Amino acid sequence: MSEIKFDALCIGNAICDVFAHVEEDFLVREDLVKGAMRLIDTDEALRLYDKMGQTVRISGGSAGNTAAGIASLGGKPAYFGKVAKDDLGEAYTHDMTATGVHFETPPLVDDVPTARSMILITPDGERTMNTYLGACTKFGPSDVDADVVAASAVTYMEGYLWDPEEAKKAFLAAADIAHNNDRKVAITLSDSFCVDRYRSEFHDLIKNGVVDLVFANEHELKSLYETADLDTAISAARESGAVTALTLGSEGAMAITPEGQVKVSAQKLDTVVDLTGAGDLFAAGFLFGLARSYDHQTACELGCLCAANVIGHVGARPEKALKDVANQGGFIV
Amino acid sequence: MSEIKFDALCIGNAICDVFAHVEEDFLVREDLVKGAMRLIDTDEALRLYDKMGQTVRISGGSAGNTAAGIASLGGKPAYFGKVAKDDLGEAYTHDMTATGVHFETPPLVDDVPTARSMILITPDGERTMNTYLGACTKFGPSDVDADVVAASAVTYMEGYLWDPEEAKKAFLAAADIAHNNDRKVAITLSDSFCVDRYRSEFHDLIKNGVVDLVFANEHELKSLYETADLDTAISAARESGAVTALTLGSEGAMAITPEGQVKVSAQKLDTVVDLTGAGDLFAAGFLFGLARSYDHQTACELGCLCAANVIGHVGARPEKALKDVANQGGFIV
């Protein structure tokens, strides 16, 4: 069996985030569901962009943010995702490799452009995402480098990969390689609407042991188990056989296993600027913790610390080294 | 004489800012002068970019930031500056027009790319700028739309325009048109190193009445009058004949006129995230105030409020409407 070289391999839609601050009534006028991600085509992307004010552009993508977070903690992440050979794609590649992420998925040439998500931040810090998938629709099984999967302690993938047709196949191929090499497989449920779209398939992934570890927030877990009651959803998660890492916003986070559960409190925050990436950075801390053999409680605590850090500014990537933040928080990383 | 349509016309180098956080020793290793702007060529831009970590990309350029600030206050600004017809240029144009800036300078086609400045933010919030001028080197007198100059209460221009050869000619042409139409002309000294490069020419501009209003910070004013003593520099400014709007960092700001001077205190700030744009946004508040016939003290106060707002986040553009910030601060805008 090959040696472990990467703490985690993250696979997802490689997206450039385009942020703008808007008032609540902008969402009402545009008939947008606050906090959700919707997929849009080129025409809608252009139409909405014209209505957005001053923008900030930062590399994003859920699993990409998690990989960047692990690198920022001083870990060794790898990433698979498809950008185009254009300015946004080159900036994306720079941001990954410059922060220490192993990222060698070949870019798409002479085809659709790099994906972008127009993220509207309301005054409460909530974000509403409008995503044009572009080059992500061309990500497929041939982009799965088996050697990297085999060399990664865990392969962590977005539920969002169920949206582009070929990406789902890549997800399943990567999971197969990981398990054949005795590695773990994790999924993030991504979004309660994403769960809505693929509920039965996500259930099958868990039931059939395709995934060992599930990341979810409260809305996603309730959606997965079709209940309005969080305790009911937690019981179902406990009985699912998988380990569930559950984020609870300002209430903190939980790790739920067949044997029981642990809960940790969230960091106290003065101001919430932008919630984008909170879940992604929780996953970075939790996965980093697992790779360092932390117990579930400590891994949750590091996850909460990383999530708190990214909420304080616009963008889903750490601005300062999370390694320093973690050390100041009493973690030895 | 034509009607006044614009509170201010801002003219400058149209630059996309590429921000990264670095430690102090990065500047030492790269032999960079902290807080300064240096011009770099393509090779150096690529070399430095490779060494920078995670980036944030936001439209910038000193006068561009000022125009965006005036728009954010609810004013009516115009802008002249040269971008290329590429992704960065299109984002720049979007950011200007979407926030309400009149911006119609034709973009450069099939030539050098849009300018970018790699801005390194150290933990103290200071920024060190490395600028590749690209398309800005093609901005010239033919880009000066005389109708817009004539319709602007004041034409506000960067000292940085002295760097690209043709831009200086555009500066002088615009000043001429403004004065022929009984409008005011303002310059920002931009940077103490910029003053160093063009000191005698800047003196001539003031002495010959080409500019009526000078924006400077402490370092720039001392450099202009070649003194280490601020009071000596202030006396020289008072005798220069021009009005000087002087920013003093955490000490606030002053307006210096031949008749005397007023000083206002800075806003109290908990944390300084990024000083980029502080001077540009002071100018936005001050110019907006002048256009609304505020006295110098009130214009300085609004300038300080705008500057304080932009220091709290990465980037030199307002994230939220300055109109609301100003109204909460007791200004009726």
Per domain, the residue ranges of chain B are 8-328
For A8-327, CATH gives 3.40.1190.20
Distance CA A105, CA A110 (A): 16
Structural tokens at position A6: 């990467």
Determine what percent of chain B is predicted with pLDDT higher than 70.
100
Distance CA B104, CA A140 (A): 42
pLDDT tens per residue, range A311-333: 999 999 998 899 999 999 999 77
Q: Say if residue B271's pLDDT is above 90.
A: no
Higher pLDDT among residues A152 and B271, named by residue: A152
Q: Say if residue A231's pLDDT is above 80.
A: yes
Chain A: residue whose CA lies nearest to B113: A87
CA B27 to chain centre: 24
Which has the minimum average pLDDT: A8-12, B25-29, B50-54?
Answer: B50-54
| Residues B240-244, mean pLDDT to the nearest whole number | 97
pLDDT at A39: 96
Do B98 and A53 make contact, defined as CB atoms within 8 angstroms? yes
Q: Which residues partner with A23 through β-bridges?
A: none
Are the C-beta atoms of residues A241 and A272 closer than 8 Å to each other?
A: no
Q: Say if residue B79's pLDDT is above 80.
A: yes
| Residues A190-199, mean pLDDT to the nearest whole number | 94
pLDDT at B1: 64
Amino acid at B170: A
Chain A positions with Cβ closer than 8 Å to B: 21, 49-59, 68, 72, 86-88, 91, 94-95, 98-99, 123, 273, 313-315, 317-320
pLDDT at B102: 98
Nearest Cα neighbor of B12 from B176, B135, B118, B182 is B135
Higher pLDDT among residues A69 and A268, named by residue: A69
pLDDT at A332: 79
pLDDT at A160: 96
What separation in angstroms does the CA of A265 have from each of A248, A282, A297, A301, A303?
A: 9, 13, 10, 8, 11
Q: Which residues of B touch A123 (CB under 8 A)?
A: 320
Q: Which residues partner with B244 through β-bridges?
A: B214, B256
Q: Which residues of B touch A101 (CB under 8 A)?
A: none
Q: Which residues of A touch B55 (CB under 8 A)?
A: 58-59, 91, 94-95, 98
pLDDT at B320: 86
Chain B positions with Cβ closer than 8 Å to A: 21, 49-59, 68, 72, 86-88, 91, 94-95, 98-99, 123, 273, 313-315, 317-320
Q: Say if residue B67's pLDDT is above 70.
A: yes
Q: What's the sign of the alpha-carbon dihedral B134, B50, A101, A86?
A: positive
Q: Which residues partner with B82 through β-bridges?
A: none
| Residues B8-32, mean pLDDT to the nearest whole number | 96
- Helices and strands (H and E) in chain B: how many: 12, 14
Say which of B53, B56, B86 has its CB closest to residue A56.
Answer: B56
Alpha helix segments (H runs only) across B80-135: 87-98
| Residues B200-228, mean pLDDT to the nearest whole number | 97
What separation in angstroms does the CA of B267 have from each of A73, B217, B253?
A: 35, 16, 11
Q: How far is A46 from chain B (nearest CA, A)?
A: 11
Distance CA B138, CA A142 (A): 45
Do B95 and A55 make contact, defined as CB atoms within 8 angstroms? yes
Apex CA A26: angle with CA A21 and CA A32, to 5°? 105
Q: How far is A91 from chain B (nearest CA, A)?
A: 8
| Residues A161-173, mean pLDDT to the nearest whole number | 95
Q: How far is B121 from chain A (nearest CA, A)?
A: 10
Determine what percent of chain A is predicted with pLDDT higher than 70.
100
Which residue of A26, A46, A54 is the best one to mutate when testing the B interface, meaning the one whose CB has the most B CBs within 10 A?
A54
Superfamily of B8-328 according to CATH: Ribokinase (3.40.1190.20)
Structural tokens at position A257: 């296993």
Q: Say if residue A5's pLDDT is above 80.
A: yes
Residue A124: phi and psi, rounded to 5, are -80, 0
Distance CA A47, CA A49 (A): 6
Do A314 and B319 make contact, defined as CB atoms within 8 angstroms? yes
Q: Say if residue A1's pLDDT is above 70.
A: no
Complex ipTM: 0.89
